[in-house]
Amino acid sequence: MGILEDLLGTLLDRGGRSDRRLRRLIEEGQRTTARVEGLHIVSKSETADDHTWRLAVRAPMGEFVTGVRQRLIPREDLVALGTELDVIHHDGHVAIDWPASIERMTGAPDPRASLVPGKSKTDPPAPGIVDERLDRKRLEQGERTTGRVVTATPMVLMGVATQNQNITLLLADGRQVEVKRALVPFYAVRLLYEGAGLPVAVDRKNPNKVSIDWPAAAAGS
């Protein structure tokens, strides 16, 4: 039995309006692809963060844009703005088929991946990336410049590398600063390497406090 059939069996057992809608999506939905145009991440203190994707979905009647709240586990680092994802859509509802997307992008299935659809939203996020986990105040009000990566050391917790790293940057004015415990979002992992130039914001009151603008880096600006 395949992944979709397994999920469908679970939904039949659980019942509920949302599950019936999802069951119909899986049973009757059309498989196609969608282009990632945006991402909005909302930080949750007690539950997993919300990831809402802006998708341009290809359909027989023409392309349409929608929002889908869904976590892509594992290997979210495979996704960037412009990435093509496999999706299922029916009657305005969309789910990202993450197992199929991983297999197409890497050439091999990932047994850890599962289709765990989230919630389709009629109001998709704006194009680009908004990440509410970052210091948005400093990014918006700080002095903009560029920092070149000198070193990046992952932080390890109980023997497991985390998303946080200690990053040493050489700023455009020649100063060297360290950004401690910097969160490196999955969409920017590929951008962090020795010598990489990253957009940063320097605190106007304390020039030793610097935030990396990961969304701008991922958008290429």
SS3 of 22-91: HHHHHHHCEEEEEEEEEEEEECCCCCCCEEEEEEEECCCCCCEEEEEECCCCCCHHHCCCCCEEEEEEEC
pLDDT of the residue at 221: 58
Q: What is d(CA 214, CA 192) in angstroms, rounded to the nearest whole number?
A: 10
Domains of the chain: 3-128 (no CATH), 136-219 (2.40.50.100)
Share of the chain above pLDDT 70, in %: 87
What mean pLDDT is predicted for residues 101-119? 87
Average pLDDT over the chain, rounded to an integer? 87
Interval 175-192: pLDDT, tens = 999 999 999 999 999 999
For the segment 108-128, the average pLDDT, to the nearest whole number, is 84
**Quick one: pLDDT at residue 163?**
87
pTM, to two decimals = 0.84
Structure confidence by residue, pLDDT tens digits, 28-82: 889 999 999 999 999 886 778 899 999 999 988 889 999 999 999 999 999 999 9
